[in-house]
Amino acid sequence: MSRIFRHDPVDFKNLPPAIRALMVANVVGFLIASVVPDMHNLFGLVPQQVLFHRWIWQPLTYLFLHGNLWHLIFNLFALWMFGMPVESQWGERDFLKYYFLCGLGAAMAHLALAPHSTIPVIGASGAVYGLLVAFAMLYPDAVVYLYFLIPIKAAHMAILFGLIEFFAGASGSTPGVARFAHLGGMLTGYLYIRWWWVAKIQLKALWRRAASSGPEEDPAPRVIPRRAPKAKNAPDADMVQVDRILDKILSDGLESLTDDERGIMHRYSERNKPS
């Protein structure tokens, strides 16, 4: 099913459900934190609490808290700007998986570099920087106006932002900003796209080649039952199952498949054999 996106003036009702839900959650988190004492210490990312007291919810909940209104507005704008084309390419499920994976990657980078810190880290910036990487890899030649003035290609902007975060973090010039957490989100996104997505595509190609080069079937005639015509514009449910099974093969190996899952992959291979 083809998907399109447009950057029309923001219409909240017409936003994709995943982006709309994330925006609402971020706004609600900001409003609650503004009236509830100690919210940042409880639900922000505090390395000492996570590592030594097992407050394992913090590497996710910190994504929905922000220090001030401008921090929130910047992240919501970046979520809309970079999230719309990424979500349009991948769909809601894969978009959300990627978003939270980048947020977790940012949290893990900060935990590794400052394990004894008692200062809470808050904000969706790590996940947003991951979206910037995804946008740059999907649309490397797209022109983005940096600070609304300077035209720059998306790929160059991602590299520039990565360098800024690295040198700012290494120099310690902005101690109130978790620069290496931002880098963690960017690196997680890059590795996920470069490794997982490429591996999935290669696995599909290998499966097709293996099916097309398998042993020839009995040439005896077969009775093929007629199938009811598929409804026009109906979603391809098989592709959702195929993607799920490919994820399972990549994580657990081919031997983990059930007989039903092997049947689904066999039908997929037969349907995609070269004519």
- Residue 272: predicted pLDDT: 58
> What angle is formed at CA 157 by the lines to CA 5 and CA 164, rounded to 5 degrees?
135
Distance CA 275, CA 272 (A): 9
Nearest Cα neighbor of 62 from 129, 125, 113, 121 is 121
Distance CA 239, CA 215 (A): 25
pLDDT in tens, the chain (275 residues): 334 445 555 556 678 889 999 999 999 999 999 999 899 999 999 999 999 999 999 999 999 999 999 999 999 999 999 999 999 888 899 999 999 999 999 999 999 999 999 999 999 999 999 999 999 998 999 888 887 788 889 999 999 999 989 998 888 878 788 889 999 999 999 999 888 766 766 776 677 667 666 554 444 444 444 443 444 443 445 666 777 777 776 666 666 778 777 777 777 766 655 44
Domain spans, the chain = 12-193, 236-275
Contact between 185 and 105 under an 8 Å Cβ cutoff? The reply is yes
User: How long is the chain?
Assistant: 275
What is the crossing angle of helices 179-191 and 125-138, to 10°? 40
Contact between 35 and 113 under an 8 Å Cβ cutoff? The reply is no
How would CATH label the architecture of 12-193?
Up-down Bundle (1.20)
Contact between 134 and 142 under an 8 Å Cβ cutoff? The reply is no
Q: Which residues have CB under 8 Å from 156's CB, separation 6+?
A: none
- Residue 158: predicted pLDDT: 92
